[in-house]
């Protein structure tokens, strides 16, 4: 019987898709990510003898390795088809070494997209394993191991057990910490705007508004006195149109997505975290069952920093645009985008594998998240190959007493790519959108009113996940595969927390950042971290030897570590409490934020005299419609999210029973002024008024998207439950509930760690669990855990 060929990929989903394309002559198995790595229980790198790594089979992978070994021995040819990046190349190399595969029967293949055409073409043109890529990944892995296992124990001794540090992690935390410091140090400055409303002399010919600009050059109004001076000079002076500028302005489409821009846009438009975005993108890449098509990989590889697009894809997009929208929607020449300097350019930009598979045509075959992300990728790519949008732009200047007021208006003259897609913005802007009358130069106007407005400069905006990724990318820190896991790591360590959509550091994050900046300048330095990424790129290209990079780094790092241990001898760094705005219900002290086994919570600083605790709640926009107090986001005992008045369950004579499943929004009803609400769930939901006495009131059955909760989860039940929960301490939580919650969280952490292993390239702390052991066993485990350092996962 003829031997079959073995193809080894990383995930079962990809194995299923590729197996259908290749047929019965090929057996496709999944390695389930890494099969060999540095041991968790020790450094695993010989620092004194050329940084020799001690790779070991990963525990729990014995059955997978045995299955792969048997299949490889029985196969005529073995194709290593792990992901087309550094880490994927390293996994292929580890497979070859661990399975003892001979060179003669082993080949490397990569799939930029998982379609039948690309898969069969790649199998027909195999190559050898690229040792430069492998060495670049080895250098990164060992660098992260050194930093994690040498530096983390110092943090444990001097600050708190269980902490970790790493190259990218430390710099990302520093970015957020320094933005927080800028906000605290910010001193607002007064400034004024001056808006004028103009009417044309002839009645009913139109009116418009314009903003004060200056005289010969732009002026800043810094005080009321300056505003009064301008108003006094123009009070009796005539107003006339001094200049009208009409022109067509064109706007080119954004390029197709790379990893960072996809994560940013999905955060802005879809409210997806970077990690979730990459998880859904992985599903789209590996393959989805499409009715009438079979299993199809819908997008190209999603870890890329290249804007390159294949000529075949450009031609396909152009044909689709011409057929659906017409020739006028095509640019004069196909668009090709220049990849930024320093990008690896190993893969194409992220695009649909087949542009003919429109999001709407396959919506029924996708989950809601898959559909939304695929639509985003498909639309962005198609728009990138379309004609520019053309705007009819009008700018008007009005002059009086030598002062100039300006206004402008742009209207879409030809939509071009806007027919398909428009790029999102990190911050919304208030642009004037009222139409302008058909004015003429020299035309006299009547100033109907002036509106001076005092304002103050605002501090820098806190980072969101999207803007933090952009900052890391701009500084050259990290690579496409590291952005999402880096942000997840600093949030998991509670160095950074997310408040709404914004990130800010905790006191712990600031203490760790200050220590890193003071004692480990290289690790926490932006330029050093970026230059290290460039050196790893040079290892990949064969320009540098990977052990030279490690040697250059370790020499300085070892000296910094020794100096830090000397300077901090006998020192214990205290992490200040994070003070909240909540007041203790028992003693009236201002509560502080603490961290426990179940996450962050509020505790009285008067412990042990006062043991009162309560859940950490999130303040929502708007006010309680019953009493005007704050609205808080809460979680019921059964895990449902609801929103209630801060006075729920209060027995101090000010109790309020308002609660709702609907989400409060920042907008107030224009009719009655009550806070408006919207239905929960992903995507846009139209706000509505809940005031039954208001003319804009929307009845329950017309609000849309309402999902009936279980009987025990009625509004009244949740409100009563909340009152009970908030009056008890964390110590009164039942043993059964605590055990169930602990089990769920432990299982969730294990699942997250497994899923993140491929993306991150670094390890989480090696923790020893001592549940259900004897007292002696617990002490032994505790001692072992204290001796096991940690490293970050990027």
Catalytic positions: 301
User: Helices (DSSP H) in 602-731: which residue ranges?
Assistant: 715-726
Give the whole-angstrom CA distance, residue 474 versus residue 455. Answer: 31
Place of tokens 């649909």: 352
Is beta strand 502-505 parallel, antiparallel or unpaired with respect to 294-296?
A: unpaired
Residue 27, both tokens: 């057996």
Q: How many CB atoms lie within 10 A of CB 294?
A: 12
Residues sharing a CB contact under 8 Å with residue 174, sequence separation 6 or more, in sequence order: 513, 516, 517, 524, 526
For residue 591, which phi and psi values (nearest 5 degrees)?
-75, 160
Give the whole-angstrom CA distance, residue 7 versus residue 123. Answer: 9
Using an 8 Å Cβ cutoff, are 540 and 521 in contact? no
Give the whole-angstrom CA distance, residue 21 versus residue 14. Answer: 11
Give the whole-angstrom CA distance, residue 222 versus residue 224. Answer: 7
Helix (H, G, I), strand (E, B) or coil at 641: strand
Using an 8 Å Cβ cutoff, are 129 and 102 in contact? no
Helix (H, G, I), strand (E, B) or coil at 395: strand
Asked if residue 240 has a cis previous peptide bond (ω within 30° of 0), the answer is: no
How many residues make up the chain in this entry?
794
Using an 8 Å Cβ cutoff, are 408 and 450 in contact? no
Give the whole-angstrom CA distance, residue 724 versus residue 722. Answer: 5
For residue 787, which phi and psi values (nearest 5 degrees)?
-95, -5
For residue 176, which phi and psi values (nearest 5 degrees)?
-65, -40
Give the neighbor-by-neighbor strand order of the sheet with 618-623. 618-623, 630-635, 641-645, 659-660
Half-sphere exposure of 464 (CA within 13 A, CB side): 18
Q: Which of 675, 680, 579, 578 is nearest to 629 (CA)?
A: 675
Half-sphere exposure of 276 (CA within 13 A, CB side): 14
CA-derived radius of gyration, the chain: 31
Both ends of the chain: CA-CA distance in Å? 46
Helix, strand, coil percentages, rounded to 5, for the chain: 40, 20, 40
Query: Strand locations in 143-238, DSSP E?
Result: 190-200, 207-214
Place of tokens 């913005």: 425
Give the neighbor-by-neighbor strand order of the sheet with 590-596. 578-583, 590-596, 599-603, 613-615
Helix (H, G, I), strand (E, B) or coil at 753: helix
Per-position b or e across 777-792, b if 16+ CB within 10 A of its CB: eeeebeeebeebbbbb
For residue 350, which phi and psi values (nearest 5 degrees)?
-75, 125
Give the whole-angstrom CA distance, residue 358 versus residue 512. Answer: 48
Give the whole-angstrom CA distance, residue 50 versus residue 138. Answer: 13
Q: How many CB atoms lie within 10 A of CB 488?
A: 21
Give the whole-angstrom CA distance, residue 577 versus residue 626. Answer: 34
Give the whole-angstrom CA distance, residue 443 versus residue 208. Answer: 14
Give the whole-angstrom CA distance, residue 663 versus residue 618. Answer: 12
Beta bridge partners of 592: 579, 603
């Amino acid at each position: 019987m003829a031997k079959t060929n073995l193809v080894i990929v990383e995930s079962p989903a990809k194995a299923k898709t590729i197996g259908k394309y290749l047929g019965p002559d090929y057996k496709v198995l999944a390695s389930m990510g890494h099969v060999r790595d540095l041991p968790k229980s020790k450094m695993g790198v010989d620092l004194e003898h050329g940084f020799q790594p001690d790779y070991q089979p990963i525990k729990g992978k014995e059955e997978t390795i045995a299955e792969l070994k048997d299949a490889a021995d029985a196969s005529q040819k073995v194709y290593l088809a792990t992901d087309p990046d550094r880490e994927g190349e390293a996994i292929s190399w580890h497979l070859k070494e661990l399975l003892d595969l001979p060179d003669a029967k082993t080949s490397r293949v990569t799939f930029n997209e998982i379609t039948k055409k690309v898969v069969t073409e790649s199998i027909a043109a195999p190559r050898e394993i690229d040792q430069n890529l492998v060495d670049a990944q080895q250098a990164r892995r060992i660098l992260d191991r050194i930093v994690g296992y040498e530096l983390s124990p110092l943090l444990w001794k001097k600050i708190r057990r269980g902490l970790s540090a790493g190259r990218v992690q430390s710099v990302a935390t520093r970015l957020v910490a320094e933005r927080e410091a800028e906000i605290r140090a910010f001193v607002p400055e007064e400034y004024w705007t001056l808006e004028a409303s103009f009417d044309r002399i002839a009645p009913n010919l139109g009116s418009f508004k314009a903003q004060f600009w200056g005289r010969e050059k732009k002026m800043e109004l810094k005080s009321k006195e300056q505003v009064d001076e301008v108003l006094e000079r123009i009070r009796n002076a005539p107003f006339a149109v001094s200049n009208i500028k009409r022109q067509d302005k064109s706007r080119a489409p954004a390029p197709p997505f790379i990893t960072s821009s996809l994560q940013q846009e999905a955060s802005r438009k879809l409210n997806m975290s970077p990690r979730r975005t990459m998880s859904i993108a992985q599903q789209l890449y590996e393959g989805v069952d499409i009715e009438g098509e079979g299993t199809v990989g819908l997008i190209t590889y999603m870890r890329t920093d290249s804007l390159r697009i294949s000529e075949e894809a450009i031609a396909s997009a152009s044909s689709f645009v011409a057929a659906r929208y017409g020739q006028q929607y095509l640019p004069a020449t196909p668009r090709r985008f220049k990849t930024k300097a320093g990008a690896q350019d190993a893969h194409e930009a992220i695009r649909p594998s087949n542009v003919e598979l429109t999001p709407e045509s396959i919506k029924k075959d996708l989950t809601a998240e898959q559909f939304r992300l695929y639509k985003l990728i498909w639309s962005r790519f198609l728009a990138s190959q379309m004609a520019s949008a053309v705007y009819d732009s009008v700018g008007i200047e009005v002059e009086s007493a030598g002062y100039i007021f300006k206004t402008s208006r742009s209207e879409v003259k030809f939509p071009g790519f806007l027919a398909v897609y428009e790029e999102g913005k990190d911050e919304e802007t208030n642009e004037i959108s009222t139409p302008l009358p058909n004015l003429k130069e020299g035309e006299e106007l009547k100033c109907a009113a002036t509106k001076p407005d005092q304002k103050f400069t605002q501090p820098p905006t806190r980072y969101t996940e999207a803007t933090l990724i952009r900052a890391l990318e701009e500084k050259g820190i990290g690579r496409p595969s590291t952005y999402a896991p880096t942000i997840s790591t600093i949030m998991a360590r509670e160095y950074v927390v997310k408040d709404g959509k914004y990130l800010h550091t905790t006191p712990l994050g600031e203490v760790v950042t200050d220590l890193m900046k003071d004692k480990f300048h290289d690790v926490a330095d932006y330029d050093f971290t970026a230059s290290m990424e460039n050196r790893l790129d040079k290892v990949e290209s064969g320009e540098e030897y990977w052990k030279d990079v490690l040697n250059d780094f370790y020499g300085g790092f070892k000296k910094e570590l020794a100096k830090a241990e000397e300077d901090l001898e006998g020192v214990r760094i205290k992490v200040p409490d994070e003070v909240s705005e909540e007041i203790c219900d028992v003693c009236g002290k201002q509560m502080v934020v603490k961290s426990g086994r179940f996450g962050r919570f509020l505790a009285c600083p008067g412990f042990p005299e006062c043991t009162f605790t309560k859940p950490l709640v999130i303040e929502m926009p708007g006010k309680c419609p019953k009493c005007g107090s704050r609205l808080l986001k809460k979680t019921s005992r059964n895990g449902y999210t609801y929103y209630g008045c801060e006075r729920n369950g209060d027995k101090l004579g000010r109790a309020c029973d308002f609660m709702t499943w609907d989400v409060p929004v920042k907008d107030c009803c224009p009719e009655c002024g009550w806070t408006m609400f919207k239905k929960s769930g992903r995507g846009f939901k139209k706000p509505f008024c809940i005031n039954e006495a208001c003319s804009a009131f929307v009845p329950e059955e017309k609000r849309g998207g309402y999902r009936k909760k279980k009987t025990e989860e009625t509004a009244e039940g949740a409100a009563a439950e909340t009152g009970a929960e908030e009056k008890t301490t964390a110590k009164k939580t039942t043993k059964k509930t605590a055990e169930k919650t602990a089990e769920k969280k432990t299982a969730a952490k294990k699942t997250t760690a497994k899923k993140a292993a491929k993306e991150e390239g670094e390890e989480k702390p090696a923790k020893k669990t001592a549940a259900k052991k004897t007292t002696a066993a617990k002490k032994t485990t505790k001692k072992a855990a204290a001796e096991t350092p940690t490293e970050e996962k990027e």
